[in-house]
Amino acid sequence: MSLRRCSRTACGRSAMNTLTYVYADQTAVLGPLATYAEPHAYDLCDIHSERLSAPRGWEVLRLASDKSSRGPSSDDLLALADAVREAGRPPERPAPIHSADDPQRGEKRGHLRVLTSD
C-alpha cells in the first residue's frame, strides 16, 4: 500500500499512478507511481487516473503498469550489482612511458620523470 495520497483536492485515496506534463509536446503522461514524489508531477489514485482528461489539442499517453510486479526487476538488480562491482574495482595504473631519448633515466609520466638510483 502506498503512503502517498492522491493529489486531487479532498481525495484521501492512495496514489497509484503519476501524471506529468510535457508542455513542449502538448502531452500528458500517466504512468505507474514514481519512485519519489516530484514537485512537478501529480500522484493520482485509480479513480482519478481513469477520469483523467487533458486540455483540448493535447494527447494523453497512458503507460501500462504491471500491478503484479512492485519493486525492482531482476534487470534492475543486475544493473545495480554491476555498478557496485565497477565502483569497487581499484583504479587502473597507466603503463609507464619510457623516455625515447634516454632509456636509462627511468620512466616518464607526463611532464615528470622518475629517476632510478643505480
Per-residue model confidence as pLDDT tens digits over 58-113: 999 999 866 555 566 667 777 777 777 777 777 777 666 555 555 555 555 566 66
Q: Which runs of E-coded beta strand occur in 15-114?
A: 17-22, 27-32, 42-44, 59-62, 97-98, 107-109, 112-113
Instruction: Give the model confidence (pLDDT) of 5-52 as tens digits.
Output: 999 999 999 999 999 999 999 999 999 998 888 889 999 999 999 999
Domain segments of the chain: what residues? Answer: 1-68, 74-113
Alpha carbons 52 and 30: distance in angstroms, whole number: 9
Cell numbers given for 42: 501529480
